[in-house]
Amino acid sequence: MKRLFLGTVALLALAAVGVVGASAAPTPMNWTGIFIGANGAFQSSNADYKFGLEGSGGCQSNNIFCNVFAPYTGGHFGQHSNGQGFGGQVLFNIQNPTSHWAVGLEGSFSQPNLTVESKNVFGTGRVNATATYDTAVRSLITVTPRVGYATGSTLVFVKGGLALAREATALSQSSAVEGCPCAFSGSHYFSGYTFGAGADWAFHPGWTAGIEYDYARLGSQHFGGDTPATVQPTTTWATGYDVRSDLSSVVVRVNYKI
């Protein structure tokens, strides 16, 4: 299903640019050069939480916070969020004047608006139902080599490389149970890989517009234990958990060739 979704979105992106290109006068262009621009995106994120077994990196033995946010036996759950993001990119292309092929390197930054809150994720009776789990994606940076094929004023491309995202997580318990009300919050940089496909169209001398689909798979980070964090009302937090996430983006952008 994921592969079908990725392929479908990428094809829709290419088709959309093709329609625009067909309805306007083409602007012949050599794609060699440096481009800078801005972008806007519709984005979605999945976050997977995993709490370890008691005494094995999860809930530590005889700690008052055990069973407040996860069962003694550990557990896991997932979250999904949708939102919009805005950012910019810098791109360097090289195209041989006698060839349709172009290679390049792109760096991009996005500030997503992806937040989600979940409650009662482990079911009634296992963990107090007033426990909340919040996740937010704060930023996304990518560095991607890319290969494109130019026809007239259109450049169709694929790309793949490194992704780095800043994500925050917060746990809170409002009920008076086992040392609470209490709260925990922390943030990490998540690193991973990204790949995508799309097309750019030269609509005016020096100016291009484009649309693309990108997917980023990020590694796991550990929260709790010795992880630097904000904890209330105490300064120790023995409940540990891991978070792993991925992001999907449909990006529309405008570039200027400098």
| CATH number of the domain where residue 170 is located | 2.40.160.20
Task: With cut-offs at 50, 70 and 90, classify the pLDDT of residue 75.
Answer: confident
**How many other C-beta atoms are found inside a 10 Å radius of the C-beta of residue 2?**
9
Between vectors from CA 51 to CA 242 and to CA 171, what angle results, nearest 5°?
Answer: 75
Q: Which residue has the higher pLDDT, 249 or 129?
A: 249
Q: Which residue has the higher pLDDT, 122 or 258?
A: 258
The count of domains in the chain is: 1
Q: Which of 52-56, 228-232, 247-251 has the highest mean pLDDT?
A: 247-251
φ/ψ region of 135 (left if φ > 0, alpha if ψ in -120 to 50, else beta) reads beta
Task: With cut-offs at 50, 70 and 90, classify the pLDDT of residue 152.
Answer: confident
d(CA 39, CA 96): 27
At residue 107, the pLDDT reads: 98
Whether residue 246 has pLDDT greater than 80: yes
**Residues contacting residue 231 through CB under 8 Å, at least 6 positions apart:** 182, 183, 184, 237
Task: With cut-offs at 50, 70 and 90, classify the pLDDT of residue 47.
Answer: very high
Task: Identify which of 239, 234, 183, 240 has the alpha carbon closest to the alpha carbon of residue 66.
Answer: 239
At residue 20, the pLDDT reads: 44
Secondary structure letter of residue 258 according to DSSP: -
d(CA 158, CA 21): 19
d(CA 117, CA 245): 15
Residue 105's beta-bridge partner residues? Answer: 92, 145
Amino acid at 84: Q
Mean pLDDT of the chain: 82
Residue 218 near residue 247, CB atoms below 8 Å: yes
Q: Which of 61-70, 155-164, 176-185 has the highest mean pLDDT?
A: 155-164
Task: Identify which of 161, 150, 185 has the alpha carbon closest to the alpha carbon of residue 171.
Answer: 185
At residue 5, the pLDDT reads: 41
Percentage of residues of the chain with pLDDT beyond 70: 74
Q: Which of 78-82, 94-98, 176-180 has the highest mean pLDDT?
A: 78-82
Residue 156's beta-bridge partner residues? Answer: 149, 199
At residue 55, the pLDDT reads: 45
Query: What are 127's two structure tokens?
Result: 């963990």
- Domain of residue 218 covers 2-257
Range with the poorest average pLDDT among 37-46, 58-67, 107-116, 122-131: 58-67
Task: Identify which of 153, 171, 193, 166 has the alpha carbon closest to the alpha carbon of residue 237.
Answer: 171
**How many other C-beta atoms are found inside a 10 Å radius of the C-beta of residue 28?**
9
Over residues 186-207, the mean pLDDT reads: 94
d(CA 243, CA 219): 8
Task: Identify which of 180, 189, 172 has the alpha carbon closest to the alpha carbon of residue 228.
Answer: 189
